[in-house]
Amino acid sequence: MGARPTMRKLMGVSASPGIAMGVAHFLGGRVQVHERRIVPHQVEAEQRRFADALVRSDAELERIQQQIAAKEGDGHQYRILEAHRLMLTDVHLVEETRRIIREELASAEWAVRRALDQIQAVFDRIENPYFRDRRSDIDMVGEQILRNLVGVVASAHDTVPRGAVVFAHDLSPADVTQLGRAGVSGFFTEGGGKTSHTVVVARALGLPFVVGVQDFVQHILPGMSVIVDGGRGELILDPDDAARALYAGRAVRELARAHRLAAVGEAPAQTVDGLRVHLAANLELLEEAPVAAEVGAESIGLFRTEFLYLERADLPSEEEQYAHLVSALTMLGGRVPTFRTLDLGGDKLPASVRMPAGSNPALGLRSIRYSLSQRGVFKAQLRALYRAAKVAPLRILFPMISGVAELRAAREICTEVCAELDQEGVPFNGTVPLGVMIETPSAAFIADMLAEECDFLTIGTNDLIQYLLAADRQDEHVGYLYHPLHPGILRAIRHIVASAARAGKPLAMCGDMAGDPLFTWVLLGLGLRDFSMAPRQIPVVKSVVRATDLGEAQALVRQIMELRTESEVEEVVLGKMRGRFPLDLTDADDDKPAA
Ligand code: PEP
Ligand code: MG
């Protein structure tokens, strides 16, 4: 379709660091379509649904085409979209779909899927690689029609080649888990926020990820070579030799920096003036356990248990959970884990879990609310946890608590579970510490009350920031509002620290803010002493802690607490940190090609 495109750089938002180079693979989200038969009097309605979906798809393509035309005329990308629009009128697709609806009494989406499969089968038999590659164009168009029919996106992972860079409008945490395991080298998406759970998994797997790349459909073709620089939020399409050398150089320097930081090894996380800081790891998947050990995590401050189950079609039984917990405890070799009870909902939904979507899933029946409403599910997890606690020490953490009543309800179920285990004569340990995540504004305000009724607290800044600033952490359109150094956030943290201290309860922070070395002084200055983060962040945070004098951090906090806007605070903090730690926090070398 026209001349070879030329190199182009697109900017998105840095989500997971690292540099990936590979062939772009579009995961347009193969829409999950189930076979659905209709009765004759529904044929007309299904034909109408199909016709509407074609019209909507065409309008979407036209809109993008107009945007392109406004920027760069009717060049290569414009013509690709023209071809895509023509495919929407293709007889093999349109007439065949209509025939399947009419004659085989299939739902519109099932008929489209069948027609697409037939077309793909023809493409697959074509020897000429150019035409075979056009398969992906049909894919894009077909999935677009299906999305307009059913609205829900799922993915096909089996066809993604190892080393590919996967791009999609959006990806789920389960997509990234499976694709990461299948050996892809990086990701970029149009949607998504940098603290979404999808990104959390990419970081856990050490895979570069850029989110919020706008309108990439206009510029990228599947099969094109791409470079993703996750740390800088950059995307290079069809790089030339000079760009390849430049990014290879960056990758080498990043690796060297990681090695240098890792050399801190087992040295204690202690400030110059002798303050001991606790650095723990957040885990999502069992395969991260060795990394946590390698980087010297002292404990596991947050184990997001729901990630163990996102890829499954059903929720696990108590026995399966017990087995998982025991293998986690064994793999962790004495690092005490804090297991968070299921935090399902929002962007984390196993196929088996039916939750009312609500108009705003982030504020819906998720997390502890779901567990309290599904006592059977909650009790199975708690039983497994109390039984596992007999094998090795662990802690239990409740997510998204918004009030004392919820905490009491959760604690009561724990008491009930222990009484039942006792009665049944099943071995368990009933002295497990119970903690509360402070991640809703109400929990932050009543942290003093919660602290009196639990054993420990941990601040989940990812959610706390989203709720305090009323900015969905998954929505790229409000990503610009996500500012951990917003004065409102700083005051909330200060209040929580004071509340925990007054109640004499241990307090940690396990949101992403804890693992960003640019914020280490602010958090130390605010009084935090316990940080839990993605394991790969531990070396750099430790190197900052070891070069810190607490007095300096406290002075910085005194200065910023007077400031009124997040940009003023950021200017002071980032300026200070980048000035003091140029080698650890920035890629200070000039961008020169790798030798
Ligand atoms: C948080 O909200 O900060 C947190 C640690 O939990 P999650 O990112 O899993 O919501
Ligand atoms: Mg959270």
Q: What is the pLDDT along the chain (595 residues), one digit of tens a residue?
A: 344 457 888 999 999 999 999 999 887 656 767 777 888 988 998 999 899 889 888 887 787 677 667 766 766 557 767 877 888 888 888 999 999 999 999 989 899 999 988 887 787 777 665 555 566 567 778 877 887 787 544 445 567 888 999 988 777 777 787 788 889 999 998 877 788 888 888 988 889 999 988 777 667 776 789 999 999 999 999 999 999 999 999 998 888 888 888 887 789 999 999 999 999 999 988 888 888 998 999 999 999 998 877 766 678 899 999 999 999 999 998 999 999 999 987 767 665 666 665 678 788 888 999 999 999 999 999 999 999 999 999 999 999 999 999 999 999 999 999 999 999 999 999 999 999 999 999 999 999 999 999 999 999 999 999 999 999 887 878 888 999 999 999 999 999 999 999 999 999 999 999 999 999 999 999 999 999 999 989 999 999 999 999 999 999 999 999 999 999 999 999 999 999 987 667 654 445 443 3
Sign of the CA dihedral with 7 first, then 13, 14, and 18 last: negative
| Residues annotated catalytic, as ranges | 197, 510
Torsion angles phi and psi, residue 37, rounded to 5: -95, 150
Task: Return the CATH fold of 263-584.
Answer: TIM Barrel (3.20.20)
571, containing H or E segment: helix 566-580
Helix ranges (DSSP H) in 151-236: 173-181, 197-204
Please, which residues have CB within 8 angstroms of residue 5's CB and are 6 or more apart in sequence? 76, 77, 219, 221, 224, 237, 238
pLDDT at 128: 62
Q: How far is the CA of 209 from the centre of ligand 2 (A)?
A: 20
pLDDT at 130: 56
By most ligand atoms within 8 Å of CB, the mutation choice from 463, 467, 473 for ligand 1 is 463
Residues of the chain with CATH 1.10.274.10: 40-150
Atom of ligand 1 nearest to the CA of 459: 3
Angle (CA) 185 27 237, round 5°: 60
pLDDT at 148: 78
Atom of ligand 1 nearest to the CA of 460: 3
CB neighbourhood size of 349 (10 A) = 19
Distance separating alpha carbons of residues 316 and 299, to the nearest angstrom: 25
Q: How far is CA 494 from CA 86, 525, 526, 570, in A?
A: 59, 10, 6, 17
Residue with tokens 């190199």: 7
* CA-nearest residue, atom 1 of ligand 1: 460
Q: How far is CA 78 from CA 31, 135, 214, 282, in A?
A: 25, 19, 16, 45
Tokens representing 212 are 């919020």
Residues of the chain with CATH 3.20.20.60: 263-584
By most ligand atoms within 8 Å of CB, the mutation choice from 439, 468, 489 for ligand 1 is 439
Helix ranges (DSSP H) in 312-456: 318-331, 367-373, 375-388, 404-424, 441-445, 447-452
Atom of ligand 1 nearest to the CA of 343: 9
Q: How far is the CA of 546 from the centre of ligand 2 (A)?
A: 29
* CA-nearest residue, atom 6 of ligand 1: 460
Tokens representing 45 are 């309605």
Q: How far is the CA of 462 from the centre of ligand 2 (A)?
A: 6
Look up the CATH number of domain 8-24+164-260.
Answer: 3.50.30.10
Residues with CB under 6 A from ligand 1: 200, 302, 304, 343, 439, 460-463, 510-511
Please, which residues have CB within 8 angstroms of residue 574's CB and are 6 or more apart in sequence? 518
pLDDT at 307: 83
Contact of 80 with 216, CB cutoff 8 Å: no
Condensed to tens digits (0 to 9), the pLDDT of residues 44-62 reads 989 998 998 898 888 877 8
Distance separating alpha carbons of residues 207 and 176, to the nearest angstrom: 9
Angle (CA) 290 295 390, round 5°: 50
Sign of the CA dihedral with 8 first, then 14, 18, and 22 last: negative
Q: How far is the CA of 333 from the centre of ligand 2 (A)?
A: 26
Range 40-150 classified under CATH 1.10.274.10: yes
Distance separating alpha carbons of residues 272 and 46, to the nearest angstrom: 71
pLDDT at 64: 67
Establish how many alpha carbons lie within 13 A of residue 481's alpha carbon, considering only the half-sphere containing its beta carbon.
15
pLDDT at 80: 67
Report DSSP state, residue 251: H
Distance separating alpha carbons of residues 483 and 465, to the nearest angstrom: 8
Report DSSP state, residue 316: P
Torsion angles phi and psi, residue 275, rounded to 5: -80, 125
Let me know if 259 is exposed, middle or buried by CB neighbors in 10 A (0-12, 13-18, 19+).
exposed
pLDDT at 592: 46
Contact of 20 with 79, CB cutoff 8 Å: no
* CA-nearest residue, atom 7 of ligand 1: 462
Specify the 3-state DSSP secondary structure of 271. coil
566, containing H or E segment: helix 566-580
DSSP string, 1-31: --SPP--EEEE-EEEE--EEEEEEEE-----
pLDDT at 298: 96
Residues of the chain with CATH 3.50.30.10: 8-24+164-260
